[in-house]
Structure 1
Amino acid sequence: MKLKYSYISFLILSAISSLNAQQDSLKFKIQKERTFLQKAILPTSLIIGGSLISGSGLERGFQKDVRNAVGNDFAFALDDYTRYVPIVEMYAADAFGVESKNHWFDQSKNLTIAIIVSDFITYRLKKWTNKRRPNGGDILQSFPSGHTSFAFTNAGVLYQEFINTSPYLAYSGYIMATTTGAFRVMNNAHWISDVIVSAGIGILVTELVYLFDPIIKWNPFKKVRGISFIPQIDNNQYGFYLCKTF
């Protein structure tokens, strides 16, 4: 029983990915592209729903149940790493020749724009709401979750790039993003509403970036062959490795 409740937050957040998968299953069967408004239903619902339960007794009770289930001393920093997995997956797929929607430079451009926009929205909301974290920290920046919005933004780009050619790869990013959000709750760093709203922000921002993608088509590497582009992550230092084969 204890094991069951220890994964409550993970199972609830998994529903986010399941809903997204269910909405897209129809597209695979009838090959009909949804409009942006249709795609925006899920993330908008997450943002509205999460906002409505923020600060409620239901949310506080849920957090207490989760911490009682996993243990009040539970701390496992998996969420610090899972948020980056969709990025690694995308460039690894490029390196192994998996067909994607866009050239690697366009992928990077869209990823950068999406991260900047989602981070701006997330941290503006943190400043405006001044919500205290469930662990009682002095920094009032609980709502929404930066880890989770970043993870779902990365997952959204991976999804956009590979949904038509490698669906399992495309959806795997949402599994990692869901895991990130779940561990933010289990680690007592965020309330459930924080991660639900953040998931909606990440998904919606990515949909917007790809909606306008055809307008921003500058790519100086489009005709250049033999270039590998791989992200580098080492001791909180981030960068990119660019290799040219002659």
Structure 2
Amino acid sequence: MIKYFLNIIIVLAVIPITAQSITAKDTIKTEKVWKQFVVPASLTGAALLLTNSDFENDLQSRLGGKTNTSIDDYTRFAPAAQMYIADAIGVKSRSHWFDQTKNLGISLLLTDLVTTRLKRSIDKERPSGANNNAFPSAHSAYAFTTATVLYEEFKDTSPILAYSGYGFAITTAALRVAKDAHFVSDVLLGAGIGIAIVKIVYLVDHLFAWNPFLKDDSFIIAPTIGDQNYGLAGVFKF
């Protein structure tokens, strides 16, 4: 188990170092890069300290078994819906909708790859006993991925909107614990992974700056995400 924890620490340590080496040419200060990883690193550290501890087990006995709702399957993607609704009504954002979609897609793909690999490598049983893929929580990772993309896009133009996505992310994580799908450490690590991956994607997004829709901003293509259903939808801006 210790070797898996070390792998997590190494991966999360390499992310900001890689980001710094890539963005040095653009004169991004080391301090600025590292500050963006304080929160995900803290969440990861807390997760590693808590996991499989007696304190966590006691905490789960108090918090778990409170609900069997499936709303967390949808709240994890709510911040993405917020972003496209804001685009459709004309709220100013950091990036064009195509770049938002590109960054969101890349972030979710990387989040899925990391969480899936860790789930398969770390043998931790869920509180419900359903399987041994508890650590980390993918739902929480996706929720904090979408929330952080929303934050990055609107933090300078609409702070309330930017932070509101974290309400859905925290709700998703809390529901995963309340329905005995995950321990607290599982959702903490998922949150750390989701935030860290979005930070690195936005640090290097200039490396894949390609947008065929810059000349026409009247049409938005947004992903549609449901329970086992994924697709694309077109929205006209008036």
Which residue number in structure 1 is paired with residue 63 of structure 2? Answer: 66
* Distance in 1 between residues matched to 2:210 and 2:162, nearest whole Å: 25
* Distance in 1 between residues matched to 2:100 and 2:48, nearest whole Å: 31
Equivalenced residue count is: 208
Q: Deviations over 1:154-189 (max 9, x none)?
A: 001000000000001000111100000000000000
The amino acid across from 1:63 in the alignment is Q
1:205 counterpart = 2:204: no
Q: CA deviation at 1:244?
A: 6.2
Aligned sequence identity (%): 44
* Structure 2: gaps (5+ residues): 1-30
Match for residue 121 of structure 1 among 114, 117, 120:
114
* Distance in 1 between residues matched to 2:227 and 2:145, nearest whole Å: 22
Give the structure-1-normalised TM-score.
0.80
* Distance in 2 between residues matched to 1:92 and 1:222, nearest whole Å: 19
* Structure 1: gaps (5+ residues): 1-33
SS in 2 for 1:231: strand
* Distance in 2 between residues matched to 1:144 and 1:223, nearest whole Å: 41
Q: CA deviation at 1:36?
A: 1.5
Match for residue 88 of structure 1 among 74, 81, 85:
81
* Distance of aligned partners of 1:156 and 1:245 in 2 relative to their CA distance in 1, 3 Å threshold: closer
Q: CA deviation at 1:235?
A: 5.3
* Distance in 2 between residues matched to 1:39 and 1:235, nearest whole Å: 32
Structure 1 stretches of 4+ with a deviation exceeding 6 A read: none
What are the equivalent positions in structure 2 for 1:27-176 lying under 5 Å apart?
A: 35-67=32-64, 70=66, 74-137=67-130, 139-176=131-168
1:242 counterpart = 2:221: no
Paired residues of 1:118 and 1:205 also in contact (CA < 8 A): yes
Q: Deviations over 1:49-72 (max 9, x none)?
A: 10121101010000001137x3xx
Q: CA deviation at 1:233?
A: 3.8
